[in-house]
Amino acid sequence: METPAAGQPGASAAFFDLDKTLIARSSTLAFVPSFYRHGLISKVQAVRGAFAQVIFRLGGADHQQMERIKAQLTSLCSGWPADRVSEIVTAHLVETIAPIVYSEAHGLLRDHRAAGRDVFIVSTAGQEVVGPIGAMLGASGVIATQMRLADGRYTGELEFYAYGEEKARKMRELAAERGYALADCYAYSDSVSDLPMLEAVGHPHAVNPDRELRKVAQARGWPVLAFAERALVACETQDQ
C-alpha cells in the first residue's frame, strides 16, 4: 500500500499501536466469537477468549500476560488453514472492528494523511488480522506478528513476533527503506511495552496509557491523550 509521500525528501510517517490505542479491545480476541461460529475453536475455548477479553479491557496485559496469551494463541492456531482465517476475518471485519475504533484515533489517522504522512499500524496481533484492519482504516501498511506456515497451515511457531524492541527495529528498517526522518515521525501507544517504539520517533504520544507508561510520559513531557470508546459511523472502506 504505497503513498505518494513515501521516499520523497522530508517524508515522514505516523505509527500507531492497534489494541487499546486505535481500538478499545484486543483485535485478536475480538474475533473469538467468529472463529467459534465457523468451527475453528470449541465453546470452552470461546468462553476463555471472552474472559481474556474482559481482563484485557479492564486491566490491560503486562509482559507475563502477553507471553501467556502468545503461547496460548500460537498453540490454539496450530493446524488452522491460513486462508480460512483470512476469509473469516474479512467477512466479519466491519461488524467486529468498526464499532470499537476510537473516534479520536480515526481522526488522527486522517489528520496525518492530510499532512502528507504515511500511516502504519504496528501491532503484536497477527498479520491476518492486522492487515485487513489497516486496509479498512486506510493505513499505508502494517507491521504485525507473522506465524510460520507449512502447506498453508499454521505450525504453532512464529516467523516474527512484533513486540517490544522488535517493533522499533522494523520501524527503523522501514524508515531507512522509505527515506523517513524518524525525528519527524510520530508514534502512539498505550503500553510501556511499546517504549522502544515511542523512543524511536521524534514525536511520541501516550494514549490511554498504563501506569508505567504514564509515569514515563509525564517525566519526559510527552503528550498524554485520552480516547473514549465510541463506535465509528464509517471506516475508509465505507467512505469511498
Asked whether 165 and 147 are in contact (CB, 8 A), the reply is no
Residue 47 grid cell:
468462553
Strand partners, 60: none
State the DSSP code for 23.
Answer: B
Please name which of 208, 34, 236, 204 lies closest in space to residue 135, comparing C-alpha atoms: 236
* Chain-centre distance for alpha carbon 210: 16
Q: Determine the angle formed by the axes of helices 82-91 and 127-136, rounding to 10 degrees.
A: 30
210 is catalytic: no
Rounded to 5 degrees, what are φ and ψ at 205?
Answer: -135, 135
Which residues are CB-neighbours of 95 under 8 A, at least 6 positions away?
Answer: none
First to last CA, the chain: 16
- Beta strand 186-189 pairing with 153-160: unpaired
Cα-Cα-Cα-Cα torsion 225, 167, 200, 183, nearest 10 degrees, comes to -90
Q: Is 194 a catalytic residue?
A: no
Instruction: Give the residue numbers marked as catalytic.
Output: 17, 19
